[in-house]
Structure 1
Amino acid sequence: MIRTDESNQTAGVSRPVSLARLLGFLLLPTAALMAGFNGIQQVFVPGQVEAMDPSSKVASLAILTAFAAIGSMIGIPMGGALSDRTRSRFGKRTPWILGLTIISAALMIAMGASNNLVMFGIIYTLLWLAANMYQGALVAILPDRVPEDRRGVASAILGLGPPIGAMIGVNVASHVGPAWGYTFLALGLIVTCVMLVFGAPEASSLTPVKIVETPREKGAGIAGFFEAFREPDFTHAFISRFMLFMAYFTVSGYLFYTLSDYIGIKQIPDGNVPVAVSTLVTITVGVWVVIATFCGWLADKLDRRKLFVGISAVGLAATMVVPVIMPTWNGMVIYSILSGAFIGTYFAVDLAVMSLVLPHKEHEGRDLGILTVATGLPQIMSSVVAGGLITYAGGYPALYLFGAFCALVAGVVVFLIKKVR
């Protein structure tokens, strides 16, 4: 398609919004969303599943995570694609961001009150669908409103959202019971969303945009939705991101059980698994924030974003061998420090790389959403693969070695991208 109106997205906003202001207000809901994802998935869900089904907790967690990840995989591109086509005086992303925030918050509170495994799984899946539709609309703000030459800086700043959110979410979940913990996470989502909408308002999208369909795109249907995969750089970016997050989710989703069943409660300080998870995540985040801030700036300065992504993926692969050769509490601390360094580097630059391989200006929300599916699809597969590795293929050492292999592949494939240096 050819877009005939290339007006700036921020034109028409009643008062100008500086890049610093936009990124500041965008960082807050990003962190709040990640707080919800991490607090729920790393602490609340494993603990609640164990309480409801202690004898089959690993298999039950794998099944529930798979269904929730399906919701994630559908939700992210759906949120981006629907908001691409939305026309309102409040902009095209804002109506979806507001509505989906309210729905997600309500589902969080319902999850905290659930004590039936089947109902819990249904709410979990619906929450991941709604929250990821919200994420799809939220991340589309980057290509909408940030110039290409500033996306490295933007990526570095927004890359702080996941570690800050993880630290807040896991600490809240570890020290507060599910009922109040879910409520606090829901309130954080609502408050930061309102701050974004009113603090950095979006331009009206009521001005019609003329789109001329090329012969190839007419009647493309479902195939047209995935047309971005015709571009090799887009495909390589998707594969690299998929493999990196396959490594990440395969391991991180079972951190709770790694500590309790592999490292052993006797080796954990005070024998408190939730607090141990919180401690390790806090260590990871502390390193992550320092590294991400520096590496994001340096990658932008050197204009070598692809290089930083590749190095971080290979480094993460080496890091995942640590728990295999050192299955102790000290080994997990070392693992947390190193993974924070390499994951921090990855997140500082990854979003900039993704935004620079988008092939179609008029479908940036949809295509960025599809790239973000590379975080949801691994969740589906990783939960099943992780359960199988733990149960049938050698336990937790096999889990970490599989993660190392996936991270290594991610690092190799990213160097095939030609458009980004």
Structure 2
Amino acid sequence: MDDTIPVSTDPRPGHVPSGHVSPAPDPIRLSRLLTFVFPATTALYALFNGIGMILLPAQVAQLAPDSKVGVLALLTTLAAVASMIALPAGGALSDRTRSRFGRRAPWLVVMALASGVLTIAMGMTTGLVALALVMTVLWFTANFYGGAIAAILPDRVPVHRRGVASAVIGLGTPMGVLVGVNLVSRVSQFWGYTILALVLAVTTLAFVAGAREPSSLDLVTVEQAERRGAMAAAGVFFRAFRHRDFVLAFASRFGLFMAYFTVSGYMFYAVQDYVGAHNVPGGDVAVAVSTLATVSLGAWIAVATLCGWLADKLDRRKLFIAVSAVGLGLSQIIPVVSHTWTGMLVYSAVSGAALGTYFAVDLAVMSLVLPDKESEGRDFAILNVATGLPQLVSPLVAGALISSLGYGSLFLFSAVFALAAGALAMCIRSIR
């Protein structure tokens, strides 16, 4: 089958729908595109998770051992605020970028290099105030990058291949976690941060050179810019929320990531305090967390590609989201019943399989509820804010739950949100 990415899906030659863009021809075959975008996506998630799951909690525990839970909650909250601003900004500004290198590529290069510098600086930071400042700016640049690279799917992948593409690109998340946490848990703090920075820069340069984006200099848009007040401009920016299925997709994604981040953000401390450092192999919490991540991601990877292919074949994508949400919800009961090392290993395998099912179709579902072709980058990034909002809220919720009810309550809270996410996904009408 020829998987060269088509120029247009409109049957009328030369027709440009009102308010839409007419893209330049993209001669890159889908297999080549995915070959280069996968490592870049993996590197981004390696940076996020290597820092968030291992490096940052360990750094905070060293700098503020008596108030580590509260300090970590504050830092992750600041970072989440930055990500919420950066994600739609990355999508919206790249939508409107015109260069011979395309709309997304210039931003990817600039933000990858900026993020690399900030990551290395974070590893050299020895004070909490400086750490908070550097991390906040880093999360802005890295999420700006994320907003731009997320638009690759609706930009350059035909609708009928988005299940497979979603599964492959989605595998960048578990592979990023796998690479990130295993790598940084076995090297020093400085080298952990430095390697993450270098990998992001190298994979980004390889992507923009190996799967070159068509020029956007001649990109045609029918909708003309108007002078608008601040309220009107905000209304235009968020107009995708006028569409029911877009709102449901956003809410479902928020629920699932709320379930995920509430637990994953405090996994280091859950292993350390809930399971007990003396109950994990070797008494090494960092290695224990990376082992749990490896088990989870092994199950994730095992099911993700198969589910992506099957979802395209059956054309039943939201069904897979519902199944994954139920699986994730049920998996949260395991650590409550058995907060032992064995219980955590079983929990990691079951939750990983559920997440793999979800991420196999997540990007495809998001791309299919976008209401405006001209603003796909912006609207896709707004859907990605459903990832940033849980990162903002979950540390506050998790900190309160741990302080008042203990670590077991994190898993029960996560179960409720996972099940709610599945119910919302089933209400989307435009996708089977």
SS in 1 for 2:97: coil
CA distance in 1 between counterparts of 2:221 and 2:201 reads 34
Equivalent position amino acid for 1:7 in 2: S
* Alignment pair present for 1:285 and 2:297: yes
CA distance in 1 between counterparts of 2:234 and 2:19 reads 24
Q: Does the CA contact (< 8 Å) of 2:254 and 2:386 recur in 1?
A: yes
CA distance in 1 between counterparts of 2:223 and 2:167 reads 35
Q: Does the CA contact (< 8 Å) of 1:2 and 1:214 recur in 2?
A: no
Alignment correspondent of 2:222? 211
Q: Does the CA contact (< 8 Å) of 2:329 and 2:416 recur in 1?
A: yes
Pair 5,162 (structure 1): closer, same or farther in 2 beyond 3 Å:
closer
Q: Does the CA contact (< 8 Å) of 1:3 and 1:209 recur in 2?
A: no
Alignment correspondent of 2:55? 44
Alignment correspondent of 2:84? 73
Alignment correspondent of 2:264? 252
CA distance in 2 between counterparts of 1:363 and 1:208 reads 13
CA distance in 1 between counterparts of 2:406 and 2:258 reads 17
* Alignment pair present for 1:372 and 2:384: yes
* Alignment pair present for 1:190 and 2:201: yes
Q: Does the CA contact (< 8 Å) of 2:38 and 2:168 recur in 1?
A: yes
* Alignment pair present for 1:7 and 2:22: yes
* Alignment pair present for 1:30 and 2:41: yes
Q: Does the CA contact (< 8 Å) of 1:250 and 1:383 recur in 2?
A: yes
Report % sequence identity.
55
SS in 2 for 1:220: helix
CA distance in 1 between counterparts of 2:428 and 2:20 reads 29
Alignment correspondent of 1:132? 143
Equivalent position amino acid for 1:18 in 2: R
Alignment correspondent of 2:6? none
Q: Where does 1:64-213 land on structure 2 (aligned, <5 Å)?
A: 64-212=75-223
Match among 233, 244, 247 for residue 232 of structure 1:
244
Equivalent position amino acid for 1:142 in 2: L
SS in 1 for 2:339: coil
Of residues 244-253 and 287-296 in structure 1, the stretch that sits farther from structure 2 once superposed is 287-296
SS in 2 for 1:391: helix
CA distance in 2 between counterparts of 1:54 and 1:83 reads 42
Q: Deviations over 1:47-85 (max 9, x none)?
A: 000000000000110011000000111111100000000
Q: Does the CA contact (< 8 Å) of 2:258 and 2:390 recur in 1?
A: yes
Q: Does the CA contact (< 8 Å) of 2:20 and 2:223 recur in 1?
A: no
Alignment correspondent of 2:420? 409
CA distance in 1 between counterparts of 2:20 and 2:58 reads 52
Alpha-carbon RMSD: 1.7
CA distance in 1 between counterparts of 2:219 and 2:59 reads 49
Unpaired runs of 5+ residues, structure 1, are none
Q: Which runs of 4+ in 1 moved over 2 A?
A: 1-9, 210-215, 217-220
Report the alpha carbon displacement of residue 233 of structure 1 after superposing the two structures with TM.
0.0
Q: Deviations over 1:74-124 (max 9, x none)?
A: 111100000000000110101100000000000000000001011101111
Q: Does the CA contact (< 8 Å) of 1:3 and 1:362 recur in 2?
A: no
TM-score, normalised by the number of residues in structure 1 = 0.96
Alignment correspondent of 1:302? 314
Q: Deviations over 1:220-250 (max 9, x none)?
A: 2111110000000000000000010001000
Report the alpha carbon displacement of residue 8 of structure 1 after superposing the two structures with TM.
3.6
SS in 2 for 1:181: helix
TM-score, normalised by the number of residues in structure 2 = 0.94
CA distance in 2 between counterparts of 1:264 and 1:296 reads 37
Equivalent position amino acid for 2:274 in 1: Y
Equivalent position amino acid for 2:83 in 1: S
Report the alpha carbon displacement of residue 325 of structure 1 after superposing the two structures with TM.
0.5
Q: Does the CA contact (< 8 Å) of 2:21 and 2:373 recur in 1?
A: no
CA distance in 2 between counterparts of 1:8 and 1:363 reads 12
Q: Does the CA contact (< 8 Å) of 2:101 and 2:216 recur in 1?
A: yes
CA distance in 1 between counterparts of 2:328 and 2:44 reads 24
SS in 2 for 1:114: coil
Alignment correspondent of 2:408? 397
Give the total of aligned pairs: 416
CA distance in 1 between counterparts of 2:376 and 2:297 reads 30
Equivalent position amino acid for 1:315 in 2: G
Report the alpha carbon displacement of residue 208 of structure 1 after superposing the two structures with TM.
4.4
Report the alpha carbon displacement of residue 211 of structure 1 after superposing the two structures with TM.
2.5
CA distance in 1 between counterparts of 2:158 and 2:127 reads 48
Equivalent position amino acid for 1:348 in 2: A
Match among 369, 380, 385 for residue 357 of structure 1:
369
